[in-house]
Amino acid sequence: MLYYIFQYLDKAFDVPGAGVFQYITFRSALAFILSLLIATIYGKKIINYLRNQQVGETVRELGLEGQTAKAGTPTMGGIIIILATLIPVLLLAKLNNIYIILLIVTTLWMGTIGFIDDYIKIFKKDKQGLKGIFKVIGQVGLGLIVGTVLYLSPDVTVRKDTLTSRVKIENNIKPADLEEKSTATTIPFFKNNEFDYAEVLSFMGDNYKDYAWLIFIPMVILIITAVSNGANLTDGIDGLAAGTSAISVLTLGLFTFVSGNIIFSDYLNIMYIPNSGEMTVYIAAFVGALVGFLWYNAYPASVFMGDTGSLTIGGIIAVIAIAIRKELMIPVVCGIFLAENLSVMIQVSYFKYTKKKYGEGRRIFLMSPLHHHYQKKGYHESRIVTRFWIVGILLAIFSLVSLKLR
């Protein structure tokens, strides 16, 4: 909104300073500051409102130290993250950008699913919340929307050979002529690191690329479902999900900025994705919202994000990674989410296997997800969170190294 106002003022009246709004870096910095202020200043008011409405967490008895003290802590704090993200985006981003539209839809879609889940838990007194099948239907639905838009929209294109593109631009060939529709993605740490999902169907004959959606859209659904569930599982102790998510999102923000800039993508020899750089504004607002939320969510937490926040976070991270063709980097960038997911899958599978074989279920971890295992071992939750953050930072650096190390 402000972007269009200042653009008009710059062109119509040549107002000094109005032209600065054309720069993504300026709008990103402003979005971060604004979202941080909204989350920290108005977050307290939202927490008090939730407390007055008796929107308190019902704590299951898991035998963990300090667990009972958290009963009654306001939940559904993900509303703070959503509002602190969307308000700066609506003010500062180009709202006709296809990637911004997709991220706004993702935020509202996953936020609604999480809100319904939390509402059932709190007001309907049903600890199970929204049935798992309906959550999956919601995740699959979002995956279908995102996958279909990315596959069909003419605004979603790539330029693989940025050096050749630059030469052609200098020879007055229109940039739009150099862009192409593609289902290609990036394989990290490999020299020739581009892989087209359509190649899986090469056995189908000359027109196999027409059926690339058969692979691409299910991959999008799988990634969105896996990452949103991973974020949901990670939200188990104070500050863990918000902190690790901020690290992952900031890393994806750097990937987004260089992928959307033809000069940097040329220098780093990576896929250039036109118009994707605008997502940097959204990502900056999202990081600011997460950091601002952490102000109240750090130990001892004044508010929990609930599924309203965790499902939204996972969905946004997945869509950003898919949009910039870095979805195969998710196991590294979101390594904490992966570890939490795997710990639950391994624990449940091993328990069922041993129960069938020996008549009694056995466990690999003291408790899953993984952070509860360390709680059972006697580690204080603030120590667990700090160490998980450190691991997240190491994984982020390792991911960024992939820009040149291949």
The whole-number pLDDT of residue 184 equals 93
Q: What is the DSSP letter of 158?
A: B
In a domain, 267, yes or no: yes
In a domain, 321, yes or no: yes
The whole-number pLDDT of residue 127 equals 80
| 243 or 71, greater pLDDT | 243
Model pLDDT for residues 163-206, shown as the tens digit of each residue:
554 545 455 555 555 788 999 999 988 877 889 999 999 988 88
Q: What percent of the chain has pLDDT over 70?
A: 92
In a domain, 384, yes or no: no
Residue 83 reports pLDDT greater than 90: yes
In the chain, the number of structural domains is 1
The whole-number pLDDT of residue 22 equals 92
- Provide the token pair at 268: 């780093």
Average pLDDT over residues 41-45: 95
Residue 275 reports pLDDT greater than 70: yes
Q: Is 150 helix (H, G, I), strand (E, B) or coil?
A: helix
In a domain, 308, yes or no: yes
Q: Is 75 helix (H, G, I), strand (E, B) or coil?
A: coil
Average pLDDT over residues 215-219: 97
In a domain, 270, yes or no: yes
Helix ranges (H only) for 65-202 are: 78-92, 98-123, 132-152, 162-170
Average pLDDT over residues 13-20: 88
Model pLDDT for residues 90-147, shown as the tens digit of each residue:
999 999 999 999 999 999 999 999 999 999 988 888 888 899 999 999 999 999 999 9
What residues form the annotated binding site for Mg(2+)? 232, 307
Peptide bond connecting 300 to the previous residue in cis, omega within 30 degrees of 0: yes
Average pLDDT over residues 333-341: 96
In a domain, 357, yes or no: no
Residue 324 reports pLDDT greater than 80: yes
The whole-number pLDDT of residue 175 equals 53
The per-residue pLDDT of the chain, averaged, comes to: 91
- With bands split at pLDDT 50, 70 and 90, how would you rate the model's confidence at 17? confident
Q: How many CB atoms lie within 10 A of CB 181?
A: 15
Residue 69 reports pLDDT greater than 90: no
Q: What percent of the chain has pLDDT over 90?
A: 74
In a domain, 405, yes or no: no
The whole-number pLDDT of residue 61 equals 58
Q: What is the pTM of this model?
A: 0.94
The whole-number pLDDT of residue 65 equals 63
The whole-number pLDDT of residue 250 equals 98
Question: Which residue range forms the structural domain that includes residue 94?
Answer: 2-342
The whole-number pLDDT of residue 162 equals 57
The whole-number pLDDT of residue 57 equals 64
Give the C-alpha separation, 112 to 106, whole Å.
10
In a domain, 395, yes or no: no
The whole-number pLDDT of residue 179 equals 84
The whole-number pLDDT of residue 105 equals 98
Model pLDDT for residues 24-36, shown as the tens digit of each residue:
999 999 999 999 9
- With bands split at pLDDT 50, 70 and 90, how would you rate the model's confidence at 62? low
What residues form the annotated binding site? 232, 307
Q: What DSSP assignment string belongs to 292-355?
A: HHHHHHSSSPS---HHHHHHHHHHHHHHHHHHTT-GGGHHHHTHHHHHHHHHHHHHHHHHHHHH
